[in-house]
């Protein structure tokens, strides 16, 4: 089956490496970027389940339509409508719908009325607008689909996503549940909380092992902690934060699951753990916008890195995401070996994931 995958902007490369190194038979075909929204990957896979083993995947769609010759003018919009109408009559569309209904509970698979809605995205220089693209998609779907299919604004059984980037168009039927269900553990939030797919990617970069002692010293809502717990076995997960509110939120999200796990109200620059006692530190320190300041980060970051170097084992890994790119590069210096850097978008800001080892 051919799938269109969404992940957080900047994580396409990590997702590609994950899928190519997995035990499944997944073939990577192409990758695109929707500004501030998603990285898009097209893959061939034997099943949806083997793709969703990666928690870096946010959404998966059965790809029933692709063209790379759409003009940016109004004629291009009309051509796109005809292409969509033709695609809905193909076997690939029928297969997409079968897969979609296979994802539903048995009690919901038989419907006299099938509700649907199009979701459209438009990137590049085009004469037509996103509203015009949506109107065209709605018109074609309403006129082409069977009479028992009904257009609704939300909560539809079938979502048809149309993405236009420059002269390319992708059409996919959404197979995954909505974002809140895929990451259902995140019921409570703190300001500047990290996107779960980014947390999952950072955990992967830490090279999880079955005997890990794992620490997030700026744990916030607990997203990184939970993604580490979901990544596989470990000896102990420790989350800490200077904020009592953050610890309470993390505790609520974690609940009784993911044992053994500990939460502490600690200062990240003075952590009461022994030297060389932690296998991996993965964290999201203040960027200096919503929490802290650029000025305070000049003191916080070096103090934190020094403490991380003290408690991390010689073969341990430190993974940090931050917008403080210049400050981090200045501080890494002689004490850390930079392994990987990944450019990502976090809360609408350009950030960098640093994966490092002690020298």
Share of the chain above pLDDT 90, in %: 80
Domains of the chain: 2-180 (3.30.2130.30), 196-358 (3.40.50.150)
Query: d(Cα 198, Cα 11) in Å, to the nearest integer?
Result: 7
CB atoms within 10 A of CB 161: 20
pLDDT tens, residue by residue, 73-103: 999 999 999 999 999 999 999 999 999 988 8
Q: What are the residues whose beta carbons fall under 8 Å from the beta carbon of 262, sequence distance 6 or more?
A: 236, 237, 238, 239
Angle at 18 between CA 12 and CA 24, to 5 degrees: 125
Nearest to 97 by CA among 151, 153, 175: 175
Is the predicted pLDDT of residue 7 greater than 90, yes or no?
Answer: yes
Please report, for residues 66, 205, 293, 317, 358, the alpha-carbon distance to residue 231 in angstroms, rounded to integers and kept in the order given.
33, 11, 33, 16, 23
The predicted model scores a pTM of 0.92
Q: 86, 121 in Cβ contact below 8 A?
A: no
pLDDT tens, residue by residue, 275-320: 999 999 999 999 877 666 788 889 999 999 999 999 999 999 999 9
């Amino acid at each position: 089956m051919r799938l269109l995958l969404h992940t957080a902007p900047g994580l396409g490369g990590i997702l590609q490496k994950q899928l190519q190194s997995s035990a499944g038979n997944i073939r990577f075909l192409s990758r695109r970027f929707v500004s501030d929204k998603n990285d898009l990957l097209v893959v061939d896979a034997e099943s949806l389940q083997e793709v969703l083993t990666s928690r870096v995947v946010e959404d998966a769609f059965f790809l029933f339509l692709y063209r790379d010759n759409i003009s940016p003018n109004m004629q291009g919009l009309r051509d796109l409508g005809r292409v969509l109408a033709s695609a809905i009559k193909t076997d690939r569309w029928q297969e997409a719908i079968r897969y979609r209904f296979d994802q539903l509970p048995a009690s919901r698979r038989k419907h006299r009325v099938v509700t649907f809605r199009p979701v459209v995205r438009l990137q590049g220089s085009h004469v037509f607008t996103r509203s015009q693209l949506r109107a065209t998609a709605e018109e074609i779907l309403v006129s082409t689909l069977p009479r028992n299919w009904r257009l609704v604004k939300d909560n539809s059984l079938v979502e048809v996503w149309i993405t236009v980037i420059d002269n390319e168009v992708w059409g996919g039927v959404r197979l995954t549940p909505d974002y809140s269900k895929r990451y259902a553990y995140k019921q409570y939030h703190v300001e500047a909380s990290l996107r779960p797919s980014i947390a999952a990617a950072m955990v992967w970069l830490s090279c999880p092992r079955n005997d890990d002692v794992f620490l997030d010293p700026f744990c916030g809502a607990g997203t990184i902690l939970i993604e580490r717990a979901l990544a596989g076995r470990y000896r102990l997960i420790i989350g800490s934060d200077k904020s009592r509110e953050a610890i309470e939120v993390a505790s609520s999200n974690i609940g009784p699951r993911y044992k053994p796990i500990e939460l502490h109200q600690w200062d990240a620059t003075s952590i009461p753990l022994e030297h060389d006692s932690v296998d991996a530190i993965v964290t999201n320190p203040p960027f200096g916008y919503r929490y802290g300041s650029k000025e305070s980060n000049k003191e916080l970051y070096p103090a934190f890195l020094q403490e991380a170097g003290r408690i991390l084992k010689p073969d341990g890994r430190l993974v940090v995401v931050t917008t403080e790119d210049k400050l981090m590069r200045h501080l890494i210096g002689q004490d850390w070996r930079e392994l990987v850097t990944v450019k990502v978008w976090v809360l609408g800001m350009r950030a960098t994931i640093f994966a490092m080892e002690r020298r």
